[in-house]
C-alpha cells in the first residue's frame, strides 16, 4: 500500500512521510465527510453583498420611464440549507400580487441567516 502514496499526496495531507499520511487519511471517516458536505450545503442567497452570518439587503434592478408607482407587488422564494427551495420570485408573480399592469421599477431583496434559512424577493412597483 505504500506504493500508492506519492510525494504529492503526502504533502496534500500535510504529512511528512507515508505513515503520517496514512494516519491522516484514516481520520477522515465517512461521517466526517458527510458533515463537511452538509455544511457546504449552507447557501448564501443572491445579493450584491455577501453576509455569511447575516444578510438583509435590498437593491435596484430595472427602472423604466414610467414614473408613477402607486402600487407594489412582492413575490418571494425560500430555501433551507440550500437543500430545499420553494416559492415563485418571478416578476410576473410580483406583478400579479400587486395588481400591476405597467412596471415602473423592479427591486430585489435578500435575507439570510447563517446560510441556514434564506429568502429572495422580487419587488415590482408600478400602476
Same domain, 35 and 64: no
Residue 12 has pLDDT above 70, yes or no: no
Residue 110 has pLDDT above 70, yes or no: yes
Same domain, 77 and 33: no
Report how far apart, in Å, the C-alpha atoms of 126 and of each of 61, 67, 89, 103 are.
Answer: 14, 8, 17, 4
pTM over 0.95: no
Same domain, 64 and 106: yes
CA-based R_g, the chain, Å: 24
Residue 29 has pLDDT above 60, yes or no: yes
With a pLDDT cut of 70, the percent of the chain lying above it is: 62
Residue 112 in any domain: the answer is yes
Span 45-99, pLDDT tens digits: 677 677 778 889 998 888 888 877 899 999 999 988 878 899 999 999 999 999 9
Same domain, 22 and 65: no
- Would you list the DSSP string of 29-67? -HHHHHHHHHHHT--PPS-SS--SSEEEEEEEEEE-S--
3-state helix, strand, coil in the chain (%, to 5): 30, 35, 35
- Which range marks the domain in which residue 65 is found? 54-126
Domain count, the chain: 2
Residue-level pLDDT at 61: 83
Cell of 31: 461521517
Same domain, 36 and 85: no
Contact 110, 46 (CB under 8 A): yes
Q: In which region does residue 24 sit, left (phi positive, over 0), alpha (psi from -120 to 50) or beta (all else)?
A: alpha
Amino acid at each position: 500500500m505504500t506504493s500508492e502514496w506519492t510525494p504529492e499526496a503526502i504533502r496534500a495531507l500535510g504529512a511528512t512521510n507515508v505513515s503520517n499520511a496514512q494516519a491522516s487519511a484514516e481520520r477522515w471517516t465517512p461521517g466526517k465527510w458527510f458533515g463537511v458536505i452538509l455544511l457546504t450545503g449552507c447557501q448564501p442567497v443572491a445579493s450584491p453583498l455577501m453576509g455569511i452570518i447575516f444578510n438583509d439587503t435590498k437593491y435596484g434592478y430595472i427602472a423604466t420611464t414610467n414614473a408613477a408607482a402607486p402600487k407594489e407587488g412582492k413575490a418571494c422564494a425560500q430555501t433551507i440549507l440550500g437543500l430545499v427551495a420553494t416559492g415563485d420570485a418571478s416578476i410576473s408573480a410580483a406583478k400579479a400580487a400587486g395588481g400591476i399592469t405597467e412596471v415602473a421599477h423592479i427591486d430585489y431583496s435578500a435575507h439570510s441567516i447563517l446560510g441556514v434559512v434564506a429568502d429572495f424577493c422580487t419587488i415590482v412597483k408600478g400602476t
